[in-house]
Homo-oligomer: A and B are copies of this chain.
Amino acid sequence: MNNLVCLSVDAMGGDHAPQAIVDGVDIFARQATGKVSKILLHGQQEVLLPLLAAAPDAASICEIRHTDSYVSMTDKPSQAIRRARGSSMWNAILAVKKGEADVAISAGNTGALMVLGKVLLGMVKNVHRPAIAASWPSPDGYSVVLDVGANVVCTAPQLVEFAILGEAFSRIAHQKASPSVGLLNVGTEDVKGNDIVREADRLLRGAGLELNYAGFVEGNDVSLGRTDVVVTDGFTGNVALKAAEGTAKLAAYVLKESLMSSPMNRLGAFLSQGAFRKLKDKMDPRNGNGGLFLGLGGLVVKSHGNTDGEGFANALRVARRISAANYMDIIQQNLEQFAKHQKLENQ
């Protein structure tokens, strides 16, 4: 296994691109010495050159791949695909397809990135739909939740494929030896939920997979880290992830207001500011940044669109770890076993 990977970065994608992207590469470059061969930086040369001049660590590792066009954050996927050829996002993924880079990273338009990823890289054999996996804070680190937005409607076999893809992601991105996998539902009893989750539960139990399947979990179990991986459809997963982010923001807001409400509280807050920093770090979505588009025929990492340099550096770390770990090999056995099982059942 060769750990020296090459990353392919869409420098023009994201709400604060290209500044936040170059900032992120700079932060990452300082910590990744000897682990990365180089970074291909796709975007407008005349914009990127001055930014790199102010970021020598990034400059030392980057190779600019010039293109004038880029996908806008507000393009619909259907527009994006028509306009995308030759854009910074397109070129970032194309470099992976050509074997020049190991993984593509973009903070750009999610829908467009998904569509271009599918068009350029195709799907992994035996996977029918890609999924976006997010890392969600839990007491001992992070849980992996997928899908958080690629598929608003899912079938039961798709949920099983997500379980396989997410389990491998948890192994690599969060160094879990044998990640437990839960299926998100409205209760843990086997009569609960809709037909799709009940059927997925049956398949996960009966398909002969090498998987530490723990059954149904509920919404509160995600933050409490009851399982390392939580599988759900992209509608529920997206809403739940954002509901958790909103709740963390509300708690921070209420705490701040209360701490400022009296001199005694303000003094206390000053003395315990170290603790608040820990809380902020833990709940900060930037620290879990770097969702993987699982199931594509090549590696594509999606950063939050409104990320800053710190968050984008995290996405680059996830990308490096994933590409150094041979993700594709890990998922293959379970995917083949599941395809075989489905073929037998549907005969």
Contact = CB atoms under 8 A, between A and B. Distances in A.
The secondary structure that dominates the A interface is helix
Contacts of A258: 272, 274-276, 278-279
Interface of A: 76, 137-139, 149, 152-153, 184, 186, 189, 191, 193-194, 218-224, 232, 234-236, 238-251, 253-255, 257-259, 261-262, 264-276, 278-279, 282-283
Instruction: Give the oligomeric copy count.
Output: 2
Contacts of A234: 186
Point out which of A223, A245, A267 has the most chain B C-beta atoms below 10 A from its C-beta.
A223
B186 A149 contact: yes
Shortest 7 CB-CB distances between A and B: which pairs? A219-B242, A268-B272, A268-B271, A220-B246, A223-B246, A258-B275, A219-B243
A221 B246 contact: yes
Given A193-B152, A274-B262, A275-B258, A222 B236 contact: no
A276 to B, nearest CB: 8
A283 B250 CA distance: 9
A271 B220 CA distance: 31
25 contacts: A137-B250, A139-B253, A152-B186, A152-B193, A152-B194, A186-B234, A219-B244, A219-B245, A222-B243, A223-B249, A224-B246, A224-B249, A243-B243, A243-B247, A244-B246, A247-B283, A250-B283, A254-B282, A258-B272, A262-B274, A266-B272, A267-B268, A268-B272, A269-B275, A271-B271
A25 B245 CA distance: 36
Contact of A275 (B138, B236, B245, B268): B268
Contacts of A153: 194
Contacts of A246: 219-224, 244
- Residue from A193, A194, A240, A283 with most neighbouring chain B CB atoms (10 Å): A240
Contacts of A220: 242-243, 245-246, 249
**A137, A184, A268 — which one has the most chain B CB atoms within 10 A of its CB?**
A268
Contacts of A276: 255, 258
A235 B194 CA distance: 8
Contacts of A249: 220, 223-224
B193 A235 contact: yes
Contacts of A254: 139, 278-279, 282-283
